[in-house]
Chain A
Amino acid sequence: MGAGVAAVGRVPPKSTSVEGGPAGRVASRPRKLTEPRLVRWLLTGLALGFLGLFLLLPLTAVFVEALRNGFGPYLDSVREPDAVAALKLTLLAAAFAVPANLIFGVAAGWAIAKFRFPGRTLLTTLIDLPFAVSPVISGMVFVLLFGRQGLLGSWAADHDLRIVFAVPGIVLATIFVSFPFVAREVIPVMEAAGTQEEEAARVLGAGGFQTFFRVTLPNIKWGVLYGAILCNARAMGEFGAVSVVSGKIRGETNTLPLHVEILYNEYMFQAAFAVASLLTLLAVVTLIVKTILERKLHS
């Protein structure tokens, strides 16, 4: 159930960098320095077995279950109006969350990497807050803030704004949980780039905007794109926080992960897996784009 997407979202960005095939390197080393053949096979086998058991098997199971009754029922479950509405809402939430966090992430990264100011360390820590806090709690915070008795709830009610148990709440919760990805990708890239090129641009007569768009942004563009993709994966796969603020009104405030859960709880296994396969496909597309970008980033 949506596990594919959620897993992509939670992978810490740096741990995914490939270190140039360790197996190949071992083989070219002098004999004395490598492990005995038996140990090597055992460890490789263990790793592959683990990978198959925990990643490939569930992924295949999603599609096998989804297509259990054949292609016709699969298409019916996917085309069903509530499923389509859930897909639309998921894409809508991501369409708000990604641009918002893109702007925020680049701005925060820029401030943190290029300037020294009081509270800089605090800001760096705060950016990671959505990673540290359980998504359910993130959702609760929004309910507490914007709910009937909440701090901003009465204000919202006065202005006839429905936030919790409505689309705005889902968008807010999604923005919150997918908030660190861009900033975390951009900060190291910006720090590595330093400030010299910006200084050079200024001395050559460039203004603030010209410096940003002609010098700063091109230097970090792959980092920004990579962050946006991770952010998107998390935004589409988010379950916990959205589940709390959504209210799960079918066809209205149900996102794809929530819809999968509802179907599953109603023993509609085939439909649940069919909808889950949509999420999985989104995750696979995200992974492919990510891999392409990663190659660009490291070359």
Chain B
Amino acid sequence: MTKLHIIAFDGTAYDIDAENGSTVMENAIKNSVPGIEAECGGACACATCHVYVDEDWTGVVGEPEPMEEDMLDFAFDVRPNSRLSCQIKVRDELDGLVVRVPERQG
């Protein structure tokens, strides 16, 4: 199990045991993290699972693929550390990952 720390906009931290291979979005939904809508169900087609990756983790998590970058155009207050959580697959190296949920999705 890999530990994820998803921090809701109000500051509430959700510490989640996530299975490798699942996505950060799926874990957020499973644990009812407020602010992750995932309207399209994880198809990288809606930009409503936008998160900010903690600065300490951006290197490990990596950059979005071009398709995700395109989709991020539909998100709001996009920052250099913005990612769509449906495109971050949980793996061993992400143990302890911290992501923050923005004030709102689109």
To the question of whether A and B form a pair in one complex, the answer is no
